Amino acid sequence: MDRMNCLVAAFALSISLASGFASAQASQPMAPVAPPATTDVNEVPQPPQGMTPGDRKKWFMERFKAADTDHDGKLTREEARVGMPEVYRRFDKIDTRKHGYVTERQVGAAWSKMIQDDMQKKNPIIN
């Protein structure tokens, strides 16, 4: 996937996460997403094409929950390494309080900031 598509996908995800948790919709539940079988941090699963921002949010939340093997609502560095390699790569930047774990909210805020910073670098006059 080219860089622009990645930025658009990340932007949609961050907007969805930043907007808060919406009430449940009367749609069929999505199948749970298992963590990837590989621990290769260079292989980053991408959301399927054509997803709405709400579907991307669900996709992210399901991946986060699948990676959170102890179900405490937090990802440790090891859980991120196995289940969310892109979060693992940026773990130190996301874990600003140095607690040794990250939450869904922290990941969303970090992605929003990265997208905003990238947009500012690309076009400082507009942004």
Nearest CA among 111, 73, 37 for reference residue 119: 111
Residue ranges of domains in the chain:
1-19+52-127
**Tens digit of each residue's pLDDT, the chain (127 residues):** 455 555 555 555 555 544 443 433 434 455 554 544 544 444 556 667 788 888 888 888 899 999 999 999 999 999 999 999 999 999 999 999 999 999 999 998 888 888 888 888 888 776 5
CATH code of 1-19+52-127, in short, is 1.10.238
DSSP 25: P
Whole-model pTM? 0.57
pLDDT of residue 1: 46
State the Cα–Cα distance between residues 21 and 8, nearest whole angstrom: 20
Read off the tokens for 30.
């999505």
- Strand-pairing partners, residue 115, are none
Which residues, in sequence order, are CB contacts of 104 under 8 Å at separation 6+?
Answer: 17, 60, 61, 64, 73
Using alpha carbons, list the distances in angstroms from residue 99 to 17, 19, 103: 21, 25, 11
